[in-house]
Amino acid sequence: MLPDIRALGIVMIGAFNPKIFHPYWMKSVEILTETEAGDSNVEINNNDISIFSIDWMRFEVTQQRLTIFSEQYPYFDRIVDLTCELFRILRHTPVYVIGINHHYHYKFKDEDTWHKIGHALAPKECWLKVFDKPGMQMIEIVNPREDEYRGQIMVRCDNSKRVFPGIQIHLNDHYEIGEPKEIISADRMVEILRKQYKYSCEKSQEVAKAVLSCAE
């Protein structure tokens, strides 16, 4: 079953200079094309926050947090390449945490299928002792990393606000790079993103498949 909506978000925690992150600066270092920079919509750009969008990406950065987001699957690899190239240029930017976030929205053929997944993820037997019509709104599962990295994989399933009857599956592949006092560059973040992106995509698809199997 293919998702009705699929999105990728790269989220970083670090020490950023928001004002530098402008589409025309990115054009000047050949991260964006002239057309992309010219067609961009800059919502705000100052020392505290910068937000802009182009047709396939939304970019938001504060002094502590940076997010690059896309709902256009053909551009997901470009998002990763853009992030790595951006912080190759700005390699002395400290980045302490990176999350590779995957979002899937699935619309079901009927509400019975929708409820079946909810019942499987959150059995109602104990709740029926105290409520007449208990329903799952959201469930979150956290699993410690099983590789050499620090962090965890967090999965949240909740009702989709984009499709009905539907579910959103959000997987945050979370990497803790180090304490702020230990980190002086973005090099480790770039290394992790390059190495782990394919695995992260595969794990998110595996999780989505497992959730959808509850309706079978």
DSSP bridge pairs for 97: 13, 176
Contact 107, 165 (CB under 8 A): yes
Mean pLDDT of the chain, nearest integer: 97
CA separation for the pair 2, 209 (Å, rounded): 10
Q: Is the pLDDT of residue 9 over 90?
A: yes
190: its two tokens: 């770039």
Contact 50, 96 (CB under 8 A): no
Which residues does 133 contact at the CB level (< 8 Å), separation at least 6?
A: none
pLDDT digits (tens, 9 = 90+) for 54-65: 999 999 999 999
Q: What's the farthest any 2 CA atoms get from each other in the chain?
A: 64
pLDDT at 168 over 90: yes
> Across residues 98-115, what is the average pLDDT?
97
pLDDT in tens, 22-62: 999 999 999 999 999 999 999 999 999 999 999 999 999 99
Percent of the chain clearing pLDDT 90 (strictly above): 99
**HEC states along 43-91?**
EEECCCEEEEEECCEEEEEECCEEEEEECCHHHHHHHHHHHHHHHHHCC
Contacts of 201 (CB under 8 A, 6+ apart): 76, 102
pLDDT recorded at residue 29:
98
Res. 216: pLDDT tops 90: no
Closest listed residue to residue 102, CA positions, set 205, 209, 213: 205
Show the tokens assigned to 59: 């970019």
Please give the pLDDT value at position 69.
99
